[in-house]
């Protein structure tokens, strides 16, 4: 008989409550493998903590989302939102699947070019484009989404005496019946600014108004808002067609579809509350199809989804450093990854699974990161079996935003590994080194260590 693992004795407060048929189980299951590769071997090979991305899951997400739209609408194009995860390997997976690039800065724009995306398949969004960046986008025939009148005027100046008109779209914000109202990007629909901008572009004769763009929010939990947004963009497109005699080529509905992470403060888990991509597709496409375009003249539908396509393909593997009891008697577990690399722990109650078998008892605990900072809390409250130092954990659904918003703070950023469809692992970003972080630094001679 195998020797049983030592269990530290503990005292648990007795809760008198209603009986339920599941007993006291938490439903937590150990996650020992990711795409068939053991967590243990991943940590052994690549260190702890380590980000792991599943190519199979990314492609599956992309295809099912694309299927949801393309079986409902004849002209659909996805553009990968670079800011969600712009590791080149990840971008290339999306480009291979047929995605264009959606970028919001000159830095991201150059990244997209570097990834071999043709200029005319790059959508350039964002409120902060410089003169040079606009110039570059014009030369590459990219789709420039105008955010404000200053940018519009800037573009008009740049597009004097050009043989080919730069292709632009205007970003529109609107009341879609949700709170908060996202009115800081683009031109407002209700107060008429959007129409003013639209007519200004069309009448200038120097720019080609190719599309209309909106992005009504992030982590949207209602599909109705997209119906309202699509209706308002269609209204602008039809008015543009009838009043300005100009056909809009595409309508870009942006992104904002939620992943199944649970938002902080949510009463029910994300899995149960979040509408599926099919629900969003149904609302958007039926609005466009029924709005009154001739079916030969339907505008293309562009989507800039990020999070929903990659969040659940990303995992963060880490190791328990220590346990302690807080003054309240609550258990605290310290792990080796902090909020500096798991930025989304500010937004979500990330699901965390132990990576090895555990005892059937569980306890409410707080999980801290390794940073010597008060804010470094991964989960304020989570029911997990007691974990021992050296135990490994898996954080789920971390594919979106973490690998772009992470920062080098106190600790160094870890390795990112991609598991391909043949279950081979590839390092797609190595862990940082001291030398790497110090490379851009200069120490004046009088301050140099003797």
CB 36, min distance to another protein, A: 15
Site map (CB under 8 A) of another protein, residues 231-250, x = contact: ------------------x-
Site map (CB under 8 A) of another protein, residues 276-315, x = contact: ------x------x-----xx-------------------
Give the binding range for another protein (CB under 8 A) out of 118-126, 254-262, 318-326, 441-449: 118-126
Q: Which of 45, 31, 51 lies closest to 318 in space, CA to CA?
A: 51
- Is 71 a binder of another protein (CB under 8 A)? yes
CB 130, min distance to another protein, A: 21
Q: Which is nearer to another protein, 259 or 319 (CB)?
A: 259
Site map (CB under 8 A) of another protein, residues 72-91, x = contact: xxxx----------------
Tokens of 277: 């991509």
Tokens of 35: 């795409």
Q: What is the C-alpha separation between 431 and 364, in angstroms, rounded?
A: 32
- Is 121 a binder of another protein (CB under 8 A)? yes
- Is 64 a binder of another protein (CB under 8 A)? yes
Q: Which is nearer to another protein, 117 or 342 (CB)?
A: 117
- Is 60 a binder of another protein (CB under 8 A)? yes
Cβ neighbourhood burial of 179 (10 Å; 0-12, 13-18, 19+): exposed
- Is 206 a binder of another protein (CB under 8 A)? no
From candidates 160, 161, 164, 242, binder to another protein by CB under 8 A: 164
From candidates 140, 222, 388, 425, binder to another protein by CB under 8 A: 140
Q: Which is nearer to another protein, 102 or 349 (CB)?
A: 102
Q: Which is nearer to another protein, 90 or 174 (CB)?
A: 90
Give the binding range for another protein (CB under 8 A) out of 10-18, 65-73, 83-91, 345-353: 65-73
Q: Which is nearer to another protein, 133 or 249 (CB)?
A: 249
Q: Which is nearer to another protein, 74 or 128 (CB)?
A: 74
Q: Which is nearer to another protein, 165 or 246 (CB)?
A: 165
Kindly list the residues in this chain that would bind another protein in the complex (CB under 8 A): 59-60, 63-64, 67, 70-75, 96, 118-121, 140-141, 164-165, 249, 282, 289, 295-296
């Amino acid at each position: 008989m195998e020797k049983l693992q030592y269990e530290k004795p503990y005292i648990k407060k007795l809760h008198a409550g209603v009986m339920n048929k599941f007993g006291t189980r938490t439903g937590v299951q150990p996650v020992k493998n990711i795409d068939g590769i053991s967590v243990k071997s991943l940590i052994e090979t690549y260190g702890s903590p380590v980000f792991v991305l599943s190519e199979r899951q990314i492609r599956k997400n992309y295809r099912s989302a694309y299927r949801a739209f393309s079986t409902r609408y004849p002209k659909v194009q996805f553009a990968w939102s670079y800011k969600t995860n712009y590791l080149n390997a990840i971008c290339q997976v999306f480009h291979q699947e047929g995605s264009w690039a959606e970028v919001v800065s000159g830095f991201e724009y150059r990244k997209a070019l570097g990834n071999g995306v043709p200029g005319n398949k790059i959508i350039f969004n964002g409120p902060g484009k410089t003169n040079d960046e606009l110039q570059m986008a014009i030369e590459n025939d990219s789709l420039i989404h105008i955010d404000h009148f200053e940018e519009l005027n800037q573009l008009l100046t740049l597009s004097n005496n050009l043989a080919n008109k730069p292709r632009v779209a205007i970003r529109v914000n609107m009341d879609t019946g949700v709170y908060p109202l996202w009115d800081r990007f683009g031109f407002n629909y209700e107060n008429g600014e959007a129409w003013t901008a639209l007519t200004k572009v069309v009448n200038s004769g120097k720019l080609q108004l190719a599309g209309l763009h909106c992005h009504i929010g992030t982590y949207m939990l209602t599909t109705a808002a997209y119906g309202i947004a699509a209706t308002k963009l269609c209204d602008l497109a039809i008015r543009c067609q009838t009043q300005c005699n100009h056909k809009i080529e595409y309508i870009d509905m942006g992104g904002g579809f939620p992943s199944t992470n649970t938002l902080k403060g949510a009463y029910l888990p994300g899995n149960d509350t979040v509408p599926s991509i099919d629900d969003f597709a149904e609302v958007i496409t039926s609005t466009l199809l029924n709005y009154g375009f001739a079916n030969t003249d339907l505008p293309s539908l562009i989507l800039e989804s990020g999070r929903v396509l990659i969040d659940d393909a990303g995992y963060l593997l880490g190791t328990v450093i220590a346990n302690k009891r807080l003054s309240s008697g609550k258990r605290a577990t310290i792990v080796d990854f902090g909020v500096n690399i798991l930025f989304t722990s500010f937004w979500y109650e990330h699901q965390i699974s132990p990576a090895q078998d555990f005892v059937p008892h569980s306890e409410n605990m707080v999980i801290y990161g390794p940073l010597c900072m008060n804010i470094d809390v991964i989960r304020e409250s989570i029911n997990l079996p007691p974990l021992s130092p050296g135990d490994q954990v898996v954080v789920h659904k971390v594919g979106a935003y973490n690998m772009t918003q992470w920062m080098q703070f106190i600790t160094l950023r870890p390795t990112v590994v991609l598991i391909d469809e043949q279950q081979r692992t590839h390092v797609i970003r190595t862990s940082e080194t001291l030398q790497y972080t110090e490379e851009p630094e200069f120490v004046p001679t009088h301050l140099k260590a003797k």
